[in-house]
Amino acid sequence: MEYVALIIYDIRDNKLRLEVSRFLKRVGLTRIQKSAFAGSVRPSDKANIEAGLRKIIRGWSNYNIQIYIISSSVYSQRVVLSEGYSLEEEEEEFLI
């Protein structure tokens, strides 16, 4: 069975938010919304992603990060309603 990690976050601090998003890219996930990443994972990846995030957030406050491991078939059955939505613009805003 194939799995997808879906990670959604709400992080107050710009620097921490950028660190988290860079980490999620580095482990191979793709940004699907301004504050959400998804990507195929092996079951063993879950612990690594969680451990990596725990390391990054240590000492910080004002954050909520949620990790969902769902089957690829459930992921592919998601409904996406989208219009005139550009993720590139949003990513640049993080750097301002």
Instruction: Please identify, using beta-carbon distances, which residue of 27 and 34 lies nearer to a copy of itself.
Output: 34
Decide if residue 91 touches a copy of itself (CB under 8 A). Answer: no
- Min dist. Cβ of residue 15 to a copy of itself (A): 16
**52, 17, 13: which is closest to 36 by C-alpha?**
17
Question: Residue 22's CB: how many other CB atoms inside 10 A?
Answer: 11
How many residues line the site for a copy of itself (CB under 8 A)?
37
Question: Of residues 43-72, which lie at the interface with a copy of itself (CB under 8 A)?
Answer: 50, 53-54, 57, 60-70
Tokens representing 8 are 């959604």
Decide if residue 75 touches a copy of itself (CB under 8 A). Answer: yes
Helix (H, G, I), strand (E, B) or coil at 11: strand
Q: How far is CA 28 from CA 20, 36, 62, in A?
A: 13, 13, 25
For Cα atoms 5, 52, 11, give the angle at the middle one, nearest 5 degrees: 75
Instruction: Please identify, using beta-carbon distances, which residue of 86 and 95 lies nearer to a copy of itself.
Output: 86
User: Which residues of this chain interact with a copy of itself, rule CB under 8 A?
Assistant: 6, 8-10, 32-36, 50, 53-54, 57, 60-70, 74-75, 77-85, 87, 90
